[in-house]
Structure 1
Amino acid sequence: MDEIVISGGHRLSGEIAVSGSKNAVLPLMVAGLLTDEKLTLRGTPRLADTRTLAKVLAELGATVAEFGNGPGEGMSIDTPTLANTRASYEWVSKMRASFWVLGPLLARAHEAQVSLPGGCAIGTRPVDLYLNGLAAMGADISVEGGYVNATSKGGLQGARVDFPFVSVGATHVLLMAACLAKGETVITNAATEPEVVDVGTCLQAMGAQIDGLGTRILTIQGVEKLHGADHTVTRDRIEAGAFALAVAATGGDVTLTGIDEAALGALAPAMRLAGAGLSETDGG
């Protein structure tokens, strides 16, 4: 698509079901690699990124199946065995989130070979935060030919990981890896976004022991094994905000279902100050 033409001047009205969050569903799909049982995700958005990640997971041995249509749609990730622990540049270069498989592969299979998102980079890499955290947990890591080669003989060990700056991706990777590590892991300066909380909530449903979700300090007690779960993906707050602004700009009246006002964060009071009316209903 080369361009999008918008003919304005029309009042928006009706009801919109807010999609599941892309920023939550991608790490949730990756979390399916942590267990040999089925992980069912409901309310998943159908995007090019989810299809790409499904191919990455399939290459590693997962069976990813979509089901349903509309509000009842979802997907399952079933990885009874890890057939492969190598994520190639072909896939990681298409979507950076593919790099996140490093954590679950290392935690479950004790080895991983994952392409750097930018190929063979010289100097400081954006993923060094991930690698330093995993190294603190006992992983032996080297970077050669644009690939991260990681092993954790005997399994990852609990550790204290102090992020020098906040990173959502690094929080996802270290949180997932710590779930199967031996002992306690403490992550400081962790990301607090709702999508991180959603991933943590799903991991808890899978048997992970996590304290501090939504705060800057996460404490994880590693367990020997995670099991399957049935989890509904949090709604996409960015999509909801975009719809809310479009409705307000046109003087419209639209019901956004599946999401509450709190998910809009600072946008809700800002819209009220600008004169927009927002109210919650039983349906969201």
Structure 2
Amino acid sequence: MLSLIGFADVAQDLKLIKPIILPKECCKINIVNGRHILQEKYVDNFIPNSYNSSKFNQPVKIITGFNSSGKSIYLKQVALISYLCHIGCYVPAEYMEISVLDHIHTRIQSTESVSTLMSAFMIDLKQMSEALNESTCESLVILDEFGKGTSEINGLALLLASISHFLQRPLNLLPHVLISTHFHSLPNFLCQIYLIMSHKIENSKIICLFKVVDKIEDQNISMAHSIAALNGLPMCIVQRATQVLQLLQNEECVNPMIDNLRYKLFIRRKQFIEK
């Protein structure tokens, strides 16, 4: 009884709405302008986002975006709203309908512990294994940057193989899958509709809009250096990193940085050797 009273108080205070629960066989999740019920308490203006997944609306969705753009919050928001429905609580959204889920599988955060005798990457693999082996069309699978615990090429290969495994299933066995990734080369190997956390650039500064939109071709540019500058990394380091990136992209040699005195000594030694 106390739990129900608590649900009622929260629903009124946080302007929650009653979700529509559909039969299992519908295999549908539709969230209109959903909110993260905890995150919105710590920001001045929380930006809501929608999520729509069904047999007929691409149940496997892949989202990209730079760090701090809101990808993880969006994934957790979808999982949290879905969970609230299943414990009888109203949800933070304008509208929601969901079929009954049998599992919510997540690969979001791996906490290492000596008691588990597993590294963070091994925990990631275990969580992914459970999602691949136990999920059904009535499951929700949330994968946040799977593959980052190993080398880029190995991580990309594992993620690509896992997504392909899901996509090879018949529609009546395919779960709702929501994936975030930093592997920008993924579209080169997998033809899917990709989403991105939107942003704009004003006066050479990045402004996060925290809105999920369809990705377009020219949004594959790395923003790592701009994000580094926004978070206080010295500009000399950011400028050097930008220079190195341009050299690598042009397949040019990256020479070490040297000050004027060392440069003069370098020239003298070079001239001496040439003589």
**Superposition TM-score, scaled by structure 2 size:** 0.25
Q: Whose helix proportion is higher, 1 or 2?
A: 2
Structure ID, larger Rg: 2
**Superposition TM-score, scaled by structure 1 size:** 0.25
